[in-house]
Amino acid sequence: MKNTLLNRILPAIDSFSRWLAYGAMAMIVVMIVVTMQEVIRRKGFNDPTVWANDITYMLNGSLFVIGAGFTLRMNGHVRIDFLSQMLPLRLQHFINLIFYLGVLLPGFGLITWLGVTRAISAYDLGRIETMSAWEPLIWPFYTGITIGLFGLLVQSAAEAVRHVIGIVDPDAVPGPSVKDKEHSLDVG
């Protein structure tokens, strides 16, 4: 296979998504540690924290979006494609490309832009979470979600390019790399 720009960009985007997934995995560990610490303090010492619930919901809300790009690359999102599987492979790629170009990329682009502006605004204004007794700054939460949305947007663009390749030559569509397959949680 030639070492074209496309053959370098798509794996780089996949790698970016994989690293975001590693970040999401680390966030799960932190969330577990925070939750265990809160349970021990609350049940064992009758000394609950005011911050553990906020940290947990912020980590939980961010990690799902941060791992979404990798999930897309591994084709792990829920799809109802029993009808499309009966279509010729080139037509499947064409339909997917139209969906990516007409719905996913514009939608994720808009939501990512709104996330960026909201995170910057929260940082500039020092916004806090007012529904909490702890009242933490909210910009780290918004930033985590925005990073995840950006990763999903970029991975969606890479998948759209793969569908273009699939329309031209369905056998030439690069699948997930061996490294990605080794790191996926294949439960199916």
Does the pLDDT of residue 187 top 60, yes or no? Answer: no
**Residue type present at position 172:** A
pTM of the full structure: 0.88
Q: Domain limits of the chain?
A: 5-78+87-174
Rounded to whole angstroms, the Cα distance separating 40 from 60 reads 20
Does the pLDDT of residue 166 top 80, yes or no? Answer: yes
Mean pLDDT of 22-44: 97
Residue with tokens 């994720």: 108
Across-strand partners of 96? none
**Are 68 and 151 contacting, i.e. CB atoms less than 8 angstroms apart?**
yes
Compute the C-alpha angle 17/186/150, nearest 5°.
20
